[in-house]
Structures are given as structure tokens and as C-alpha cells.
Amino acid sequence: MIYVLSAVTVGGAMYFCARPLTLVAGALAAIVISVIAIWLTLRRQVSRPARELLAGVALWQFITAKSTSQGRVALALVVAATAGALLLLALVGAGDSEAAAGAFFGAGALLLIAALALSARLLKSAAGRWKRPMTSLWGLGLRNATRRSGRSLAVIALLACGIFLVIAVEAFRHDPLAHAEQRSSGTGGFTLFGESSIGILHDLNTESGRESLVVDGDVLAGVEVLQLRVRDGDDASCFNLNRAQRPRLLGVEPDRLADRGSFSFAGAEGQALWKLLNDREDDEIVPAIGDYPTIKWALGKSVGDQIEYDDEKGRKFRVRLVAMLENSILQGSLLIAEDRFVERFPSEAGYRLLLIDTPAEKVEAVADHLSARLTDFGLALTTTKKRLAAFSEVENTYLYIFQILGGLGLVLGSVGVGLVVLRNMLERRNELAMLRAVGFNGAALRRMVFYEHSGLMLGGLVSGVIAALVAAGPALRTGGASVPYVSLVLTVAGIALSGIVWIWIATTFALGGGMLQALRNE
């Protein structure tokens, strides 16, 4: 897993670290779970008659005896889980908040439970109710699927749970560069992001400012530069594992960002929220805007909360969070109006952060020219796409971890499905031998087994996909999320193909040699 994560993530090295206590705890947990599973199985088997155990098959009467009561319990669980999912979506599912995302995932999990309970109900209700003779291999296969309803449900559950986890996590993976050229994206429509060690006193947008800095006006033709003042503070980006207390402050002209339509606000449309930075109802409170990861995760705050700062004269003032941006290149900082910034930190001369909007064909030329001309200021330039991708890579790494774990579980689930099918076929070798003796050829028996297990496989696929789509509702309805539909379709197709292969292997093995001895046992 470490190798796979190192391959899909960029910008950092990953090392395997295991503590002895963790390994011991994991081993003990695995042993305890295995012992419990064995005990439950033995407890059920011991309660069965000796004749049934010797025969190696489940008596039809044993199955039908409990089908009615268990079917009612399953039906009640279907109703309860579905009602819980609808109630959860109705109460919390509105909006794009973290709570709404959790509500959708919880609703998807409840629908998965409801789907499995419905499958159990259908299997139980069908068991023992096939009164008329079977006239088709399809009907005979469906009838056989209800005989061991517990194992049939295990096949459905293994596939459904694995697909649910993989698809639900995969749908939340973002491609931050999908619309990076748009001004409403996390780049704000800027192509270069620059930081300098010394404040730049001149305006790079004016001819006089460019002349003072010995910058070639022809190179910067068609280029717009947004210069921000900087007051250093805690790094509140996702790269800092510690809880930031007083993030870096950036002084910005709100009207310029509003006129450009740069960036998007979380839970709001339009650019009117930039005007909130000009609010002066209380001189001791300075309005500020930060992006969602900074405010929600790094600071543990929300809109309306306040953070206390000291200005350069030692006077305390409060910064109030008035709005949140979507994930952006400004992560880790709080933006305040430039005039309020100058009032509190008048000695912070010049601009130390540059947001540069250049034509696509001039990005490299502008970057090289400014880096050379402003080298005395310690200017370091990077593309906004690279910066935004680095921030998003942290979030996607966590998703990769869960996706790999889900994929591993899905692989084990596929193997488990194969083992369940194989055991079913081996226990029914006597029955298959009898069918061969009365005239069914090998091809007909293979089709019968395929019909039996393909229905179970289809039930697992449909249950998992529907529940996962509900869980991934926020990602599917958010324009910023680039949902990998092709990857999801290929995943489902691969799982279906894997199931077909396992069914073919199990059937071929069961219909192999030794059928005469199996017929004698029958």
C-alpha cells in the first residue's frame, strides 16, 4: 500500500511505520473475530440433526421453518433503514456543508443496509414456495439460490459493501485543475503566484512603477498584477499539522477581486461577499475572508467566529470571519481590506505577495523576466496550477488511502465470493451428478449454476452502486468535483467480470472427475 501511495502522490516521501503494540492489537482482534465466527457457525451446526449433517445438505424443512419470522424482521429493517435515510437527508442533507456530506454518506450506508435486508427478505420469502415444476434452467437456478439463503446473502453483501466503499470514496476525489483557467476556480484566474522577501513599493500595473523596477513593459503587456500586503503569522494551510492560532494576514483590494470575479465562495454565489471586507461598523473588529480548508480544518472555526490579534503597537483587535472561499491558492491565510491592514500595520511597507494574470502563451516569459528583474526582492514564482494541485494532493491522499483499503477489501470479497460459490458446488456434487444421470449435459449445468449466481452478483452490484451514488451526492452535484465516471464504470465492470470468472472456475471444478462416486452418495 505504501508503494501505491508513493506512486499516486507527488511531493513527499512515505515510509512504513509499525508499532509493536499496534501489530499485537491487530493480531488479537483478528483472532477474536475469527473465534467468534467459528463459534457462531459451530453453534448453529450442532443444533442440526445428525442425519442432515451426515448428508451434507440443508433439509428443506429447516430452511422454511424460520423463513416467515426472519422475513418479517428483514422487512421491518428495510422500512426502518429507508425511513432513517430519508429523514437524515430531509433534516441535514440540504446545502454543501460538512454536515450535509456526512448526512448523504450516512443515508447511503442506511440504504445499503435496506438493500441487503430486502435481499434477505426476498430470499426468505422465496424459499420453499416453488410449488410448480421448473420448466427452465433460469427458474431452476433462481430456486437453487434460495436454498442456502444465508450464503446467497453473503455473496450479495460482499459485493455490495466493497462496491459501496470504493465508489463512494472515488467520487469525492477532486481534480483541482479541471477548470483552473476560469476566474471562479481555485486559481482565481491567475496563472502565477509570487512571494518576495522584501516588500515591493511600486505598482507593477503602471508604467511608472515598471520603470522604477526596471521591468520591460512589452513583456508585461496584457498582464494584470494583483499585489497584496503581508503580515506574517501561523501557517494555516493543510501542510501544517499543528493547530494554527493566528494565521497570516493579507491586505487586499476587495473591489478588484469582486470586479474580476475571482474565486468562488462556499455556499454562496456571486462576488458580493467581497464587499463585506469594507465594513466599518466597529473599528475594533476587522472583517476577514479565508478559504474553507483554512477556516474549517486548520483553525477549527466557522463564519461568524473571531480571532484576536495584536497590531504593531501592541493594541488588541479582533478579526471576524465573514465568508469562506472554496479551496484556493490563498489557503493558509486570511484576507482583510488593504486600508484596514495599513491602519494596524503601517510599517509593513510594500507588497510581498503577487497574483499575476498572464496570457497563456506568455506565462514562461513573464515568470523568467520578473524573476530576473526582481531578484533583489527575493521573488519566488510558481504557477497557480502547481500550488493548487499541491494543496489538493493532501486531501486526495487521504481518499487514496481509503480507496486502497476499500479496493483491498473488494479483492478479498471477490475471493470470498469465489470460495462461497465453490463450497456450494462441492456440497451439491451429489445433486449435480444426479442431474447428469437423468440427462442434463455439462453445458446445461454450467448455465444453471451461472443463472443462479449471476442473479446474486447482479443484486450485489445494484445494491452497492445505488447506495454509493446516494453517499456521493454532494460530490456529484458540485461543479468543482471532477467525478471519474470512466474509472467507476471500469471498476464495476471488472468486479462483474471477476465474479463470472470465479463462477466458471467453481463450476468447472465441481463438474470434474469423481461424479460416479458422487452419484453413489446421492
Q: How far apart are the first and last CA of the chain?
A: 48
- Cβ–Cβ under 8 Å, residues 121 and 82: no
Rounded Cα distance between 307 and 299, Å, is 10
What's the CA gap between 164 and 495, in Å, rounded? Answer: 12
Taking 70 as the threshold, does the pLDDT of residue 382 lie above it? yes
Q: At residue 227, does pLDDT exceed 60?
A: yes
Mean pLDDT of 471-487: 67
Q: Which three cell numbers stand for residue 393?
A: 494532493
Given this model, what pLDDT does residue 241 score? 75
- In this prediction, residue 63 has a pLDDT band, given cuts at 50, 70 and 90, of very low
Of the spans 112-121, 155-164, 389-398, 506-515, which averages the highest pLDDT?
112-121
State yes or no: pLDDT of 11 exceeds 60. no
* Mean pLDDT score, 229-248: 88
Give the pLDDT of residue 134.
Answer: 60
- What HEC string does 273-307 produce? HHHHHHCCCCCCEEEEEEEHHHHHHHCCCCCCCEE
Q: Which one is predicted more confidently, 124 or 121?
A: 121
What's the confidence (pLDDT) of residue 483?
63
More confident residue, 102 or 20: 20
For 180, 192, 206, 272, 320, the CA distances from 359, given in Å and listed in that order, are: 14, 11, 18, 27, 36
For residue 33, pLDDT beyond 70: yes
Above 70 in pLDDT, residue 144?
yes
Q: What is the pLDDT of residue 160?
A: 87
Which pLDDT belongs to residue 428?
77
* Amino acid letter, 349: A
Rounded-to-integer distance, Cα 383 and Cα 362, Å: 12
Question: Rounded to an integer, what distance in angstroms lies between the CA atom of residue 101 and that of residue 95?
Answer: 9
Q: Which of 98-107, 208-217, 394-403 has the lowest mean pLDDT?
A: 394-403
Mean pLDDT comparison of 9-13, 182-186, 320-324, 457-461, highest-scoring range:
320-324
Q: What's the average model confidence in pLDDT over 144-167?
A: 80
pLDDT at 4: 55
pLDDT of residue 251: 96
In the 8-state DSSP scheme, what is residue 422?
H
Quote the CA–CA distance of 120 and 136 in Å, as a whole number. Answer: 24
Would you say residue 487 has pLDDT above 80? Answer: no
Residues 512-521 have a mean pLDDT of 66
Average pLDDT over all residues of the chain: 82
Helix, strand, or coil (residue 474): helix
DSSP E strand boundaries for 150-200: 192-200
If one compares 128 and 474, the residue with the highest pLDDT of the two is 474
Position 60 scores a pLDDT of: 44
> For residues 158 and 498, is the Cβ–Cβ distance under 8 A?
no
Evaluate if residue 468 carries a pLDDT over 60: yes
Measured between alpha carbons, how far is 321 from 330 in angstroms, rounded to an integer?
15
pLDDT at residue 230, as a whole number: 96
61: confidence class by pLDDT, cuts 50, 70, 90:
very low
| Better pLDDT: 104 or 143 | 104
Q: Which pLDDT score, from 0 to 100, does residue 54 have?
A: 62
Residue 400 · residue 5 · CB < 8 Å? yes
Mean pLDDT of all residues in 256-272: 85
**Cα separations (Å) of 256 from 195, 260, 261, 490?**
19, 6, 9, 45
The DSSP letter of residue 60 is H
Check whether 321 has a pLDDT greater than 60.
Answer: yes
9: pLDDT confidence band, cut at 50, 70 and 90? low
Q: Which residue has the higher pLDDT, 176 or 180?
A: 180
How many whole angstroms separate alpha carbon 192 and alpha carbon 385?
Answer: 8
With CA atoms as reference, report the closest residue to 370 among 470, 220, 187. 220
Average pLDDT over residues 335-344: 95
| pLDDT single digits (tens) 407-430 | 776 777 777 777 777 777 777 777
Above 90 in pLDDT, residue 280?
Answer: no
User: How large is the average pLDDT for residues 293-301?
Assistant: 88
Res. 17: pLDDT tops 80: no
Pairing of strands 192-200, 224-231: unpaired
Question: Residue type at 327?
Answer: N
pLDDT band with cut points at 50, 70 and 90 for residue 344? very high
pTM of the predicted model as reported, rounded to 2 decimal places: 0.70
The yes-or-no verdict on residue 480 having pLDDT over 80 is no
Whether the pLDDT of residue 30 is over 80: the answer is: yes
pLDDT exceeds 90 at position 288: yes
DSSP structural state of residue 481: -
| pLDDT band, residue 58 (cuts 50/70/90) | very low
Q: Which sign, positive or negative, has the C-alpha torsion 193, 199, 202, 203?
A: positive
